[in-house]
Amino acid sequence: MPSLADVMKAHANPVEMLRNSQIGMYVYPVVTPEFRNWRVEQEAWRHSAVLFDQCHHMDELIVEGPQAEAFLSHHGINSFANFDLNRAKHFVPVTPNGHVIGDHIIFRERADKFILVGRAPTSNWLMFCAAHGSWNVRIKHDPRSTSRPEGERVLRTHYRYQIQGPDAPKIFEKMNGGPIQDIKFFHVDWINVGSKKVQALRHGMSGAPGLEIWGPYEDKHYIHSTIMQAARDAGVDLVQCGSRAYSTNTLESGWIPSPLPGIYTGDGMLAEYRDWVGSDMYEAAGAIGGSFVSDNIEDYYVNPFELGYDFYIGWKKDDFIGKDALMKMKASSTNRKKVTFEWNKEDVLKVIASAFDDGIPYKWIDFPQPNYASSSADMVMHGDKMVGMSMFNGYSYNERCVLSLGVVDQSVQVGDVLTLKWGEPDDTGKTSAERHKQADIRVRVSPTPYANEVREGYAADSWRTKTV
């Protein structure tokens, strides 16, 4: 099979390759698009309880062996100093040049066994690193379910569900057969789901408190039915979340899920990686969408300081991939900071209304998820100067507005009103981008997380609430 390096040779530069990708929109596979209505499903994590089916859209890696901890510590920025059994971390690998590749949630099951869950770029990088080095580790890769199974049976290693919202504790008590123990944020413990003992992580993707549970995939239907019955017994209206609403859960809590992996440039290890990555893998088949167009792919990269991950960095570790580069970046005045953009209502309505007028309309804003590529990059302007980049967007029925997450220059302050360039300046080969013209949308710079209750009442020590 051709490699990413082979594919890149057929294009003028990586930006041109990714802007014209034929992959289409990023699809959250298998799960029903809507169980009730995506608006009701969004409201549920704020006002009652919601059930997220996470069984299909994420990769899973099992890393085990005598050097499992050393391997992961070397290939992630995180400190492993206090990473005890039954703990979880937000694991972030960077390239030797300090650019973010992606992220995973990592669980420690044994001294020599870890489970990692997340998007493909991190999985691919770790599999390459295991093959590239001489590490005494074993890796089992369970890739995300096929976007379009077309009637084929879908099987995974583990089921994975998350229940969250203000009424979630009532469900936990019913399905556990009594009160559950107090599980600290990002800690894991065992609880009952009917007759099954399952692992539970204290977590919450949309910012509301909740538990994420997992176990053997063959138990999936029993676990699901037991959860739903426990909700009925508790008198809680547990709303199942479909794939349309699921993709918006991060907007209120502030996690940018799909930064472009910073692997398209660089020599040595990075060049070897591009030779290793197949032409059908995420890095080769993914797409960039948005108004920002640069011939330099590195203009799309981000580093941990910009995403608010700097407090993860295990500076005391002897060495890890990217340490030297991050040391140089640490005090850089060019590091941007993560913010939320609140889109102006009148400007959004103007864009939507253009679809009903003669002539070429503005780029359509799909609800609740307007992203039309694997990675988004929309220009955020102050006058004629680009001062930021919007990277993930969507509509929140809870807030009754369109929000996006991105990065801005240090000079930008909360409350500033800037202009987001919506739509692409020219036609591309993306199947998800119709013929359109660009629009100017005013955006107000807002805190991250956006939801007040998340900032003030949830996980005060979480990465979501840390500032750069």
Q: What is the pLDDT of residues 60-94, one digit of tens each?
A: 999 999 999 999 999 999 999 999 999 999 999 99
Question: What's the start-to-end Cα distance of the chain, in Å?
Answer: 42
Q: What tokens appear for 314 in the block?
A: 């295990």
Going by pLDDT thresholds of 50, 70 and 90, the confidence category of residue 148 is confident
String of b and e for 24-50 (b: at least 16 CB within 10 Å)? ebbebebbeebbeebbbbbbbbbbbbb
Delineate the domains of the chain, giving CATH numbers in brackets: 38-57+149-246 (3.30.1360.120), 337-457 (2.40.30.110)
Q: What is the pLDDT of residues 165-179, one digit of tens each?
A: 999 999 999 999 999
- Residue ranges in 257-398 assigned as alpha helix (H): 269-276, 282-285, 323-329, 345-353
Q: What secondary structure letter does DSSP report for 311?
A: G
Residue 151 has what pLDDT? Answer: 82
Angle between the N-to-C axes of helices 120-132 and 269-276, in degrees from 0 to 180, rounded to the nearest 10: 110
The mean of the pLDDT values for the chain is 94
462 pLDDT higher than 50: no
Angle between the N-to-C axes of helices 168-176 and 220-234, in degrees from 0 to 180, rounded to the nearest 10: 120
- What is the mean pLDDT of the segment spanning 137-152? 92
- Please say whether the beta carbons of 150 and 212 come within 8 A: no
- What is the mean pLDDT of the segment spanning 24-42? 94
Counting runs of H as helices and runs of E as strands, what totals does the chain give?
Answer: 13, 19
- Please say whether the beta carbons of 49 and 163 come within 8 A: yes
Q: What secondary structure letter does DSSP report for 310?
A: G
Q: What tokens appear for 334 in the block?
A: 């060019």
Residue 466 has what pLDDT? Answer: 43
Residue 467 has what pLDDT? Answer: 38
Q: What tokens appear for 158 in the block?
A: 């583990």
- Please say whether the beta carbons of 140 and 61 come within 8 A: yes
String of b and e for 352-380 (b: at least 16 CB within 10 Å)? eebeeeeeebbbbbeebbbbbbbbbbbbb
| Dihedral (CA of 25, 26, 29, 35) sign | negative
CA 274 to chain centre: 23
Q: What tokens appear for 219 in the block?
A: 């138990």
Distances (CA, A) of 192 to 172, 176, 182, 359: 9, 4, 14, 59
| CA–CA dist 442, 419 (Å, integer) | 4
Residue 89 has what pLDDT? Answer: 95
Q: Give the CA dihedral 431, 434, 436, 440, nearest 10 degrees.
A: -70
270 pLDDT higher than 90: yes
Residue 452 has what pLDDT? Answer: 58
Residue 253 has what pLDDT? Answer: 86
Q: What tokens appear for 67 in the block?
A: 């050097």
Residues counted in the chain = 468
User: Which residue shows structure tokens 């294009």?
Assistant: 11
> Which residues neighbour 181 within 8 Å (Cβ) at sequence distance 6 or greater?
189, 191
Going by pLDDT thresholds of 50, 70 and 90, the confidence category of residue 54 is very high
Residue 207 has what pLDDT? Answer: 62
Residue 203 has what pLDDT? Answer: 85
Mapped to the 3 state alphabet, what secondary structure does 390-421 carry? EEEEEEECCCCEEEEEEEECCCCCCCCEEEEE
Q: What is the pLDDT of residues 340-399, one digit of tens each?
A: 999 999 999 999 999 999 999 999 999 999 999 999 999 999 999 999 999 999 999 999
CA 99 to chain centre: 16
Neighbour count for residue 411 (Cβ, 10 Å): 9
Which run of H or E residues covers position 43?
Answer: helix 38-47
Q: What is the pLDDT of residues 398-449, one digit of tens each?
A: 999 999 999 999 999 999 999 999 999 999 999 999 999 999 999 999 999 8
Q: pTM higher than 0.85, yes or no?
A: yes
| CA–CA dist 156, 214 (Å, integer) | 12
Beta bridge partners of 212: 162, 201
Residue 208 has what pLDDT? Answer: 64
